[in-house]
Structure 1
Amino acid sequence: MSKRALISYIRVSTSQQGRSGLGIEAQRETLTRFAEAEGFEFLKEFVEVETGKGADALDRRPQLSAALAAARKAKCHVAVAKLDRLSRDVHFISGLMVHKVPFVVAELGPDVDPFMLHLFAAFNEREAKEIGRRTKAALAAAKARGATLGNPRLAEARESAADAVRASADRHAANVLPIIREARKAGATTLREIADVLNARGVSTARGGQWYATSVRNMMARAT
């Protein structure tokens, strides 16, 4: 049986290259393991190194544009190690869907449909905003205590805390969103039915509470 083709896309910023789980080699290793396990082979690899802001604009991501073009020509998927290597912005993810090039996210598996990718993107976006809010509050509190905000130790602690929140959010999303996908496939079409499935399985919200139609709607609204 012949292997299915993929185009790989790896993205880092200059500040991320040495961080665990975000570096070029770490992403390449994740993609390689995924391809071997799922029967894919890579036709070409594109690596994007960002050095400034505005990274979510496609015209500032030439390697992503090239990867999209290569995938369209080969009629195959673009593969990334993690969804945030495309973007943490749900609108940017939605914009990529317009190009009609399907994406495969190694950490999510080969069968995640566009609806689920939107949900994961929305979840990541929300967590990024929450991290920003908590960071501002922590800096304000530190300043009130007379701490020097330029202190390297404070910056390191802030980054460590943000990484911990992101890791926790990723784990939670990895548990919740596949259940939503299964529920939809099983016929749970209303918000109330999806909430009932999550609660019946003992799955809590990110804040540790129960699911309601409104909480399911709020999550899904971020994916539109």
Structure 2
Amino acid sequence: MTAFKKVVAYLRVSTVRQGKSGLGLEAQRERIQQFAMAEGLEIIGELVEVETGKGSDALSRRPQLAAALAMARLHHAPILAAKLDRISRDVHFISGLMAHRVPFIIAELGADADPFMLHIYAALAEKERSLIAKRTREALAAAKARGKLLGGFRGRAGTAEDCAKGRAVKTAKADDFAATLRPIIAQLNPDGAMSLHALADALSNRGVPTPAGKGRAWTAMAIKRILDRGALKSKSANPLPQARL
């Protein structure tokens, strides 16, 4: 439970059209209000940002976020947002915000998610976005090289090569996700004494997203797969011993 009693609410949508229609804003506002009520927090101000997304990971392009920071400093209060991506998906931008020494509370991560967890969550989102973009470009380039028409469903199943490429993309994505998670697991369990179940509970309690997506609980088997994938990628020992399920 956070020690703060007052918070500054920050909401953001990515286009002028969304801002005018309220698309996404009401859902964010409802989530923030529900969280504040559950945690006994008073919302002393609400700042709403509407921007196009291009160049938005710069505080100079986010005047409402800058205003929220100023209000938060004045009242010694944190900024409350519904989801971390409403602040940013960019790790460097998140790190820059931490330098302002204004705490951030993310409703979907819980009241006790510390700055370390915000960095981890942003790093996972950034890596996933980068990987998807890279693999998509490669798949499109390969399809174009084969003379395949792009831009829509053509009413036929993918070729064996397409299926193989799809599996390769999934494998690469899983490898990158596991590589990001293993240092976190090692930090949680430096002496290797925790069981897989205990590690799963620790990651779930910290709000670390699972391979299945945010909001899903970690399981002992999921932890084992992360560690096993590391063993397959390298002949070196796992960062943690193979604990019993």
TM-score range, shorter chain: 0.5 to 0.7
3-state secondary structure, aligned to 1:112: coil
Identity of aligned residues (%): 51
Deviation readout 1:127-152 (Å, 9 max, x if unpaired) = 11112113213432453443244x69
1:147 to 122, 146, 149: 149
Could you tell me how far 1:208 is from its partner in structure 2?
8.5
3-state secondary structure, aligned to 2:111: coil
Q: Is the 2:88–2:94 Cα contact (8 Å) retained in structure 1? A: yes
Q: Is the 1:72–1:101 Cα contact (8 Å) retained in structure 2? A: yes
3-state secondary structure, aligned to 1:53: coil
Question: After the TM superposition, which residues 54-65 of structure 1 pair with which residues of structure 2 at under 5 Å, given as runs?
Answer: 54-65=55-66
Q: Is the 1:16–1:23 Cα contact (8 Å) retained in structure 2? A: no
Q: Evaluate the alpha carbon distance shift between residue 66 and residue 40 of structure 1 in structure 2; reply closer, same or farther with a 3 A threshold.
A: same
What is the match of residue 7 of structure 2?
Answer: 6
Amino acid at match of 2:71: A
Deviation readout 1:27-60 (Å, 9 max, x if unpaired) = 1111111111111121111111112511101111
State how far apart, in whole Å, the 2-side matches of 1:131 and 1:194 are.
Answer: 33
Q: Is the 2:78–2:103 Cα contact (8 Å) retained in structure 1? A: yes
Could you tell me how far 1:211 is from its partner in structure 2?
5.5
State how far apart, in whole Å, the 2-side matches of 1:140 and 1:70 are.
Answer: 48
What is the match of residue 93 of structure 2?
Answer: 92
Deviation readout 1:158-198 (Å, 9 max, x if unpaired) = xxxxxxx9xxx9xx99xx79x959x74xxx347x7789764
3-state secondary structure, aligned to 2:47: strand
Q: Evaluate the alpha carbon distance shift between residue 214 and residue 36 of structure 1 in structure 2; reply closer, same or farther with a 3 A threshold.
A: farther
Amino acid at match of 2:222: V
Cα RMSD (Å): 4.1
Residue 201 of structure 1 pairs with residue 203 of structure 2: no
Q: Is the 1:198–1:211 Cα contact (8 Å) retained in structure 2? A: no
Q: Which structure: larger Rg?
A: 2
If the length of structure 1 is used for normalisation, what is the TM-score?
0.67
Higher relative contact order (CA 8 A, sep 6+): 1
Amino acid at match of 2:220: R
3-state secondary structure, aligned to 1:34: helix
What is the match of residue 221 of structure 1?
Answer: none
3-state secondary structure, aligned to 2:113: coil
Deviation readout 1:39-93 (Å, 9 max, x if unpaired) = 1121111111112511101111100000000000010010111111111111110
If the length of structure 2 is used for normalisation, what is the TM-score?
0.62
Could you tell me how far 1:215 is from its partner in structure 2?
9.1
Q: Is the 1:71–1:101 Cα contact (8 Å) retained in structure 2? A: yes
State how far apart, in whole Å, the 1-side matches of 2:90 and 2:193 are.
Answer: 28
Could you tell me how far 1:24 is from its partner in structure 2?
1.0
Unaligned stretches of 5+ in structure 2? 155-169, 201-218, 240-245
Q: Is the 1:8–1:78 Cα contact (8 Å) retained in structure 2? A: yes
Amino acid at match of 1:202: M
Q: Evaluate the alpha carbon distance shift between residue 152 and residue 66 of structure 1 in structure 2; reply closer, same or farther with a 3 A threshold.
A: farther
Q: Evaluate the alpha carbon distance shift between residue 180 and residue 64 of structure 1 in structure 2; reply closer, same or farther with a 3 A threshold.
A: farther
Q: Evaluate the alpha carbon distance shift between residue 214 and residue 73 of structure 1 in structure 2; reply closer, same or farther with a 3 A threshold.
A: farther
Amino acid at match of 2:149: A
State how far apart, in whole Å, the 2-side matches of 1:87 and 1:104 are.
Answer: 13
